[in-house]
Amino acid sequence: MELMDLASFLDAGANYFVILPLCFGFFYFKHTNALLKLLIFGLILTLLQLIILKISNIISSFIFGYILAAIDTITVTLLIGQTITSRLNRNIFLMIGVLLLLFILIDSQYITCLNNFGISTFIVKIFIVISAFISVNHLFKINLEREIFDQPIVWICFGLIFNNLFGSFEMFSLAIMNYSQNLVLQYYILLALVRIVMYLFFSYSFYLSQKIENN
């Protein structure tokens, strides 16, 4: 199997791996709280866009890049927003999310003109990393009675940080591709594995939700 085939296979496999946390989410649906329901919502959107991309050849994948960035922004803003207890801070955070959506719109229409979604994707990924980082940082400092790794949100945030920090490197992939296709393909193989790990973390967070309720 050539590197290209392996990268394509793993990329597709990692994309459809979203089905695993969704299955967990639906299986433990009655145990999930608002936060995990939001995660299910985000995962459904991800799966839907994959299916649409598969069955439709009309929409260009470049446009899809922007749509994916917007979906990620909406899901993560709502998800992390749930963990912020202060109303003022939550509103500020939601506002940042809205501003980011506006930026994606402006970027797609006026800056990169639907030709390169790399900048929007990069900024969204950095936003997700910073939000998840702040959220986990906060979780580590409060609620000492509860074991930190028994909290679903911690696993979700770890998954988001891991995947998006690694994924933000994608912005440089086009530049690197001029020099070495192999390097980029190797990166995509790793990114696919990282994405699989993220979905495993999400699945575990759903499993934890029922475990916590049973306890």
Partner 1 sequence: MKRNISFIFSFLLEFVLVMSLYAQKSDTLTKITAVKYGNNQVGFGTGNIDILQNKIPKLAFDQNYLQFSFLNKKIPKNKTFYYYLVGLDYTWIKCEDCSQAQYAHLNGGNYTFLVKTGEKGDVPAQFKFFVEGDIIHKWWFIPMLLMYVLAFLGIGGYFFVLFRFRQKLIQQRLIHREKMKSMSELTAGIAHEMQNPLNFVTNFSGMSVELVQELNDEIEKSELDKTLIRELVNNIHQNQQKIYQHGQRASGIVNGMLEHSKMNIGQFQLTDINKLIEQQLRLAESVFSKSNKEFIVELQFQSDSQLPKLNIIPQEIGKALFNIFSNSFFAMIKFAAPMLKVTTQKSHNQIVIIIKDNGTGMPESVRNKVFHPFFTTRNTGEGTGLGLSLAYDIITKGHGGMIECESVEGEGTIFTVTLPI
State yes or no: residue 9 binds partner 1 (CB under 8 A). no
Q: At its nearest, how many Å lie between partner 1 and the CB of residue 119? A: 15
- 48-52 long-range Cβ contacts below 8 angstroms, 24+ apart: 50/15, 50/16, 50/18
Looking at beta carbons only, is 24 or 188 nearer to partner 1? Answer: 188
Angle in degrees, 0-180, between the axes of helices 152-167 and 61-83, rounded to the nearest 10: 150
State yes or no: residue 178 binds partner 1 (CB under 8 A). yes
For tokens 């990393």, the residue is 129
Looking at beta carbons only, is 85 or 145 nearer to partner 1? Answer: 145
Q: At its nearest, how many Å lie between partner 1 and the CB of residue 144? A: 5
| Nearest CA-CA partner of 129 in 83, 87, 73, 171 | 73
State yes or no: residue 179 binds partner 1 (CB under 8 A). yes
Residue in 7, 39, 136, 196 binding partner 1, rule: CB under 8 A: 136
Q: Is 146 left (phi over 0), alpha (psi -120 to 50) or beta?
A: beta
Instruction: Give the footprint of partner 1 on residues 70-109 (CB under 8 A).
Output: none
State yes or no: residue 60 binds partner 1 (CB under 8 A). no
Looking at beta carbons only, is 24 or 204 nearer to partner 1? Answer: 204
Q: Exposed e or buried b for every residue in 130-158, given b needs 16+ CB within 10 A?
A: ebbebbbeebeeeeeeeeeeebbbbbbbb
Q: At its nearest, how many Å lie between partner 1 and the CB of residue 169? A: 6
Pick the stretch among 16-24, 35-43, 82-90, 132-140 that binds partner 1 (CB under 8 A).
132-140
Residue 212 half-sphere exposure toward CB, CA atoms < 13 A: 19
Q: 213 with 31: CB under 8 angstroms?
A: yes
State yes or no: residue 161 binds partner 1 (CB under 8 A). yes
Instruction: Give the footprint of partner 1 on residues 183-202 (CB under 8 A).
Output: 183-184
Residue at 203: amino acid letter: S
- Alpha-carbon distances of 19 from 23, 34, 88, 94, 206, rounded to whole Å: 6, 20, 35, 28, 13
Residue in 19, 98, 111, 174 binding partner 1, rule: CB under 8 A: 174
What residues line the site for partner 1 (CB under 8 A)?
A: 2, 133, 136-137, 140-141, 144, 148, 161, 165, 169, 172, 174, 176-184
